[in-house]
């Protein structure tokens, strides 16, 4: 299980942190700073639960739990939505500039 950080409604600030939890024990097993300055708006878990995708205002980051690696992509325009293809390693991002697809090689 994974969560994204806090949202401060007063200052309109989102936290760039992902916290990964063990659902059996309730203990936090990892904390990842995505370095997305605008903070996180959305979190997606890959179909095989090996990787996570986080979405900021104009950037997407993918984090692979097994390798503890991360890759980030800047879209260059406001991201409207993001989805993971079922049973695939593909992320689709809808932005003001159009539809973008990324193949995740976890």
Paired with 52 in beta bridges are: 45, 63
Measuring CA to CA, how many Å separate 78 from each of 47, 64, 98? Answer: 25, 24, 10
Q: What is the pLDDT of residue 99?
A: 92
Q: What is the pLDDT of residue 31?
A: 81
- DSSP letters for 25-62: T--EEEEEE---TT--SEEEE-TTSSEEEEE-SSEEEE
SS3 88: coil
pLDDT exceeds cutoff 60 at 20: yes
Specify the pTM: 0.70
pLDDT exceeds cutoff 60 at 71: yes
Length of the chain: 106
Token digits of residue 33: 């700073």
Q: Average pLDDT for residues 14-25, to the nearest whole number? A: 81
């Amino acid at each position: 299980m994974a969560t994204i950080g806090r949202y401060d409604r007063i200052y309109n600030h989102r936290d760039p942190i992902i916290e990964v939890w063990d659902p059996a024990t309730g203990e936090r097993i990892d904390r990842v700073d995505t370095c997305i300055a605008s903070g996180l708006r959305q979190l997606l878990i890959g179909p095989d639960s090996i990787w996570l995708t986080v979405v900021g205002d104009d950037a997407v980051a993918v984090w692979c739990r097994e390798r503890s690696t991360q890759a980030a992509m800047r879209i260059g325009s406001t991201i409207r939505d993001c989805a993971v293809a079922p049973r695939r390693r593909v992320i689709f991002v809808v932005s003001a500039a159009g539809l973008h697809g990324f193949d995740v090689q976890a």
